[in-house]
Structure 1
């Protein structure tokens, strides 16, 4: 008897969740342009739309059994690219320091290397850990809150501390999740090859 807790993952490409993910990917350069040119209110609008479509694509995928292998790659790719675009744009404008950008990029480089190692052992991408999702969510809250202070300076005295709290906590959790992925990769590398 099949477990109801593990939904079927299909190889379909053209599903509503995947189309929403493609749309989000297409909005990344628009978002980066808006941040770099200090059009923060419009950038926030794009980010809100992206966040809502991110929630919607996950809901539709689960509710209507449209989970796909492509969606499992597109969704986190779009999330990461939005985070990188926000980091690059905000660092270029000296809203955040470049060290925060490098801390997050270094973790992503480490995960890319782990993916290559896992592939060499015949395994696909590592399963997403809940801590990694929490870290991504913290960064997803941090960057718009920091942008909000840029768009509306009158509230920056409130948004900046909240945004920095989420940013630092998110970066810490990002690396904590990264070390969990390292441990998973080590376990995989010790399994006998098929």
Structure 2
């Protein structure tokens, strides 16, 4: 029996729990929303570990794993914004960052060259901060006493990280685009002579 489908199954499971998490948040069932969010987080760690440990990476997983993560984060941020638990300016910044990265990646792919997504260490920390903020809010909503000052600090940490990683990605991929353009120009000059 081939078990290499397990990471993709976990990714699908993460996508499936997004609507129930949103519904549970909107209906005030915060403990159940927290439980599903913890499941989603653990499944994300597990599918990544399994894929790397047993070389079960796939093209499908490479596309849908980050998509599942973004879907879960965007749904959580938008819902927590709707409930007044996160500021709209932060949600706008997080969404803007992701849109710029996705659109930039698409433009790079179509105009310059094919590439594999390569999250930076700073981007990984940004993702951790975003997830931690959601979990912090869910834990607080589920009834555990957490200091509101800590949530304010996390909001600002996520904002700073979103801004820094946006600048970092624009810098890295703009530099790569310039190098590819120069290389093409040099190749064209060489073939003309």
Same fold (TM over 0.5): yes
Contact residue 118 and residue 125 of structure 1 kept, 8 A: no
Q: Aligned in 2, Cα 1:126/1:52: closer, same or farther, shift over 3 Å?
A: closer
Distance in 2 separating the partners of 1:169 and 1:38: 27
Contact residue 24 and residue 50 of structure 1 kept, 8 A: yes
Distance in 2 separating the partners of 1:145 and 1:24: 19
Distance in 1 separating the partners of 2:159 and 2:117: 20
1:140 aligns with 2:128: no
Contact residue 20 and residue 57 of structure 1 kept, 8 A: yes
Give the C-alpha shift of residue 125 in structure 1: 4.8
TM score, norm. by length of structure 2: 0.85
Where 2:165 maps in the other structure, the secondary structure is: helix
Give 1:83-162 correspondences, 5 Å limit. Answer: 83-119=73-109, 120-152=111-143, 155-156=145-146, 158=147, 160-162=148-150
Q: Which runs of 5+ in 1 are unaligned?
A: 1-13
Contact residue 87 and residue 101 of structure 1 kept, 8 A: yes
User: What is aligned with 2:169?
Assistant: 181
- Match among 129, 153, 156 for residue 168 of structure 1: 156
